[in-house]
Chain A
């Protein structure tokens, strides 16, 4: 791996390369972007570029020298990755980091601390980090990796340089998939690239995830039978069934959202561009005729809302029931 193998993040890489070149490496960075777009790989590459023994003219690491190979194997003593324990980064972890930081690097020029999923830091942990990221020793680089900036403290953001990682276009993903994997059917590559929604990591995990496709197939089949106004008396039993089957709630919700978004797009625009579920075009366009705009918007609004509810531990059962009622248009009729 080297910088040039990272797909689609030219801008971020350009900023980082320049800063190595001009020797303006800031002491703290935030890498922000969706899952699986290459944040962590870039962070490692960045560290290689800082320390590589025989860096080339393009400021790219050689990938062969002792340092690079150590980093590749992630057994470099100066590279420390902090990850959430049970979904949270606690203050103790940051305290440890603060102690560690005082010690000079063992063998490299720079010492790097990568805090993965920095948005999972507790409030105490984030505050604890403040003074450290403001004025760390010269030899330290701290990189916070997170999905979104919003959950971070403003005081943290203002101390760091922010590097945005963009979503990767489905075309690029498709190309990559077809290049990397032999005998992959083009249709499948197309579908996966759309479903991945800009995340290379997701596209690769989808490739091997049969469970996901099974579930998706089942769910979409079920969704295709739902029409507004046409609900059978066993509606609540259906919901019950739906809920017991859900073990990957967030993914399911994403499928639902993409489904209704597609319906809405087809209904409103009539074009087949930008459709996520490209394998179901016919069903979608048929359903789109049956759904009034208002219900569709209502469903989408509510599903977005659910994502928030899930974070806040609202009763899943009730939330899904309501979503279901919205899907069959019952609520709308009562209005």
Chain B
């Protein structure tokens, strides 16, 4: 007999031989022995787990000469004919090739005829997900109430492509991936029969690269036998599968830990020259990095489950201690991205060189990401602290002054002003009028948007422009890309360095004169220096010209000491405000406020203690 692939030779012929699908075979065996056979079954699951095989065995069980039995004899005429695929009563249709409505119409016409020899007529439609919608719909009525001698079996890898109306008419069995252990056991059986010898580690590699599909495992074994003949060694198996030794990955990750770019790229180039397969390399590297992170985090029991060998563990453990978890995750992320790109790219090795560079270069791709994360974490923490502190202080505040919104706003303004003093570049004040002038000439509209601001400050290379709620339109217009770019260009020209621009809603340049008065009174009661601030606000309200703005800006910094004092007096309210601020900030997505308040609060506390 001509040679047959292992997966065909070893196709199970009885329910008991099907591995890893106990939940299905048992159900079917019971159904057959209780004579409760449904007229339509749907088998779904990943490739190579036994769908078609099960369908064929079921067909045999139904039509065996011994009568319907869960244990088909595989010896009688009918069984043999079904196995060889020319039985009259078991019609195996390739759903992917015969997918049109005409094929199904044809099937409908033939369904009526009684079986030729057996008890049942079994239609096995494989790859049923490829039927067209029309074909599915044509099948519906037949599928719902077929003649009593008909059994439909559908097999597919993509059950989600099948209409619900079909699903609801079938008994649906979902096949599972086969576990590593089951695959290894089956492989051992095959090896014994083929009179070969393969050691445990090699088997493990075969089983692992099959990712839960028996047919894959058998294909691989087939290929290995073809390549190695009788002497199967780990080395040769790796060669056939293109699996790269763990040592390479160990060295590779080592170079990343040591930031040794040159060596990393050498490794990549060497593998490329040796004819390695880039996608295989990426897959294996991902697995290795995954293992590293597992070993870093998990208990040994989990590692057993993952099939990591004990002898490798020591080394993995050592290495895992040297590298940060965040970096490992970043690597996996990047590798996953590369794997996706593999479909499109022409030279995959360049992508891998980039990987090395990104993870070893000074301004590190990975560490940059981590830094960002840490920043956020830091912010979060500071917010929390704020809340805690404010809780403590709130009580005091309530006793002293009834918290009034306007005053809070006022103080918030104060806090902003303070930032200006802290971080504003002196040259902004000088340069700003020039910039505005230029802006006026180049694009008047932008100029008009910008002059209604109530706050301008520089912070961490960011120019922050505040707007009152009322001027939200101006803010949004200014935020438009081209306007922003224009402004940035100008700033860059004048100040000699690029600044990012952030527009925020700064909801405290009070415009409401009536409330202002109340506020004024409040302030006067408390302390004189307040007045200064008040005036400034009034100015802002009434005059919205940029020049004045400038003056006020200057004034703020001059008056800052006074304001600080006033702030310290208002300490309680500030903190109250901060909660407000926090909430608002969440809505608006601007977080400059907190950092400032965070800075001011300990100061205030100190001052308070001093006084």
- A residues 229-276 in Cβ contact with B at 8 Å: 250, 254, 257, 261, 264-265, 268-269, 271, 274
Contact A11 B275, beta carbon cutoff 8 Å: yes
Most buried by B among A131, A198, A269: A131
Best-surrounded residue of B130, B274, B362 (most CB of chain A within 10 A)? B130
CA distance A264 to B353 in the complex (A): 10
Interface residues of B in 345-366 (CB under 8 A from A): 345-347, 350-351, 353-354, 357-358, 361-363, 365
A261 and B48 alpha carbons, distance in the complex (Å)? 41
Not counting A297-B358, A305-B341, A307-B345, a sample of 17 additional A-B residue pairs whose C-beta atoms are within 8 angstroms of each other reads: A19-B226, A22-B226, A24-B3, A124-B99, A131-B126, A135-B8, A135-B85, A138-B2, A138-B4, A160-B219, A161-B226, A167-B273, A169-B273, A261-B350, A294-B363, A297-B365, A304-B350
A26 to B5, Cβ gap below 8 A?
yes
Q: Are B97 and A98 in contact (CB-based, < 8 A)?
A: yes
Of the stretches A143-151, A179-187, A277-285, the one at the interface is A143-151
Min CB gap B214→A, angstroms: 9
Distance of A130 Cα from B344 Cα, bound (Å): 24
- A-contact bits for B353-383, CB 8 A (1 contact / 0 none): 1100110011101000000000000000000
Q: What A residues does B485 contact at CB under 8 A?
A: 334
B residues in contact (CB < 8 Å) with A:
2-5, 8, 46-48, 85, 94, 96-97, 99, 126-127, 129-130, 157, 213, 215-216, 219, 222-223, 225-227, 229, 239-240, 242, 261-262, 265, 269, 272-277, 279, 341-347, 350-351, 353-354, 357-358, 361-363, 365, 485, 488, 492, 498, 500
Pick 20 A–B contacts, CB within 8 A, sort by A. A15-B223, A26-B5, A26-B222, A26-B226, A124-B99, A127-B127, A127-B129, A128-B94, A132-B94, A135-B8, A150-B343, A155-B157, A161-B223, A162-B223, A198-B272, A257-B350, A268-B357, A300-B350, A305-B341, A333-B492
CB pair A334–B226 under 8 Å, yes or no, is no
A124: which of B130, B227, B279, B342 is its contact (CB, 8 Å)? Answer: B130
Q: Complex formed: what's the CA distance from A159 to B227 in Å? A: 18
Knowing A22-B226, A293-B363, A307-B346, say if A130 contacts B96 (CB, 8 Å).
yes
- Chain B residue nearest to A165 (CB atoms) is B275
Across the interface, A127 reaches (CB within 8 A) one of B130, B269, B346, B498, namely: B130
Interface size class of A (residues with CB under 8 A): 35 or more
Whether the Cβ atoms of A297 and B357 lie closer than 8 Å is yes
A330 to B429, CA, bound (A): 27
Chain A nearest CB from B352 CB (Å) reads 11
Q: Which B residues are CB-close (under 8 A) to A25? A: 3
Answer whether A18 and B354 are a contact pair too, CB < 8 Å, given A11-B275, A127-B130, A154-B47: no
Chain B residues with Cβ under 8 A from A83's Cβ? none
Of A164, A300, A334, the residue contacting B498 (CB under 8 A) is A334
Report if A95 contacts B (CB, 8 A).
yes
Chain B residues in 8 Å Cβ range of A313: none
B272 touches A167 (CB 8 A): yes
Complex interface: chain B residues within 8 A of A91 (CB): 97
Give bound CA distance, A254 to B272, whole Å. 18
User: Is A158 located at the chain interface by the 8 A CB criterion?
Assistant: yes
What is the minimal beta-carbon distance from A15 to any residue of chain B, in angstroms? 5
